[in-house]
Amino acid sequence: MTAIPATQQASFAIEQSGRALIDKRSFVFTHTLAGHPLFTLEKLLEVAKAASRRPGDLYFDAGDIKVDQKWGSIPLSEMTYLRALKRI
């Protein structure tokens, strides 16, 4: 794995008011992930391909999913991980 210089390390912040909303409602948070080298489509596809070779390591939701829906109650998507990532 490639080391990321400290100047490029990602961070995110959730205001105190947002913390109470986790798993309940949508909330605003800030992050520095946009433009981060590990979040390029090429890198995301690389990670997804590796994870897809390990059963149970790759999961994604696609469609109209509610914040409080649990993974077991969401129908599996017919879309492949590759197609989902390319639609980003």
pLDDT digits (tens, 9 = 90+) for 74-86: 777 777 778 887 8
* AA letter at 17: S
Q: Would strands 29-31 and 12-14 be described as parallel, antiparallel, or unpaired?
A: antiparallel
* DSSP H/E element including 30: strand 29-31
Can you list the alpha helix ranges (DSSP code H) found in the chain? 16-19, 41-52, 81-86
Q: What is the pTM assigned to this prediction?
A: 0.50
Adjacent-strand bridge partners of 31: 12
Indicate the domain borders of the chain. Answer: 10-38, 40-88
The pLDDT value given to residue 35: 81
pLDDT digits (tens, 9 = 90+) for 29-39: 788 888 888 88
